[in-house]
Structure 1
Amino acid sequence: MIQIIGILTFLLSLLIMLITNIMSKKSINEREKKSPFECGFDPKTSARMPFSLQFFLIAVIFLIFDVEITLLLPLILTMKITSMMVFFLISSLFIMILIMGLYHEWNQGALNWNI
Structure 2
Amino acid sequence: MKALFNFSTMISMIILLLALILTLTFKKTFYDREKNSPFECGFDPKNIARLPFSLQFFLVALIFIIFDVELVLLLPTVSITKTSNLSNMILSMNIFIIILLVGLFHEQNQGSLNWIK
Q: TM-score, normalised by structure 1?
A: 0.62
Q: CA deviation at 1:37?
A: 3.7
SS in 1 for 2:65: helix
Secondary structure at the residue paired with 2:82? helix
Flag the structure with larger Rg.
1
The alignment's C-alpha RMSD in Å is 2.6
- Is 1:85 matched up with 2:87? yes
What's 2:99 paired with? Answer: 97
Matches within 5 A, 1:37-76: 37=39, 40=41, 45-76=47-78
Q: What are the ranges of 5 or more consecutive residues in structure 1 without an aligned counterpart?
A: 1-25
For residues 37 and 104 of structure 2, the distance between their equivalents in structure 1, rounded to whole angstroms, comes to: 42
Q: TM-score, normalised by structure 2?
A: 0.61
Q: Deviations over 1:7-66 (max 9, x none)?
A: xxxxxxxxxxxxxxxxxxx9x45x4x232146x575564212121111111111111111
Gapped runs of 5+ residues in structure 2? 1-29
Give the 3 Å change call, closer, same or farther, for CA 41–67 of structure 1 in structure 2. farther
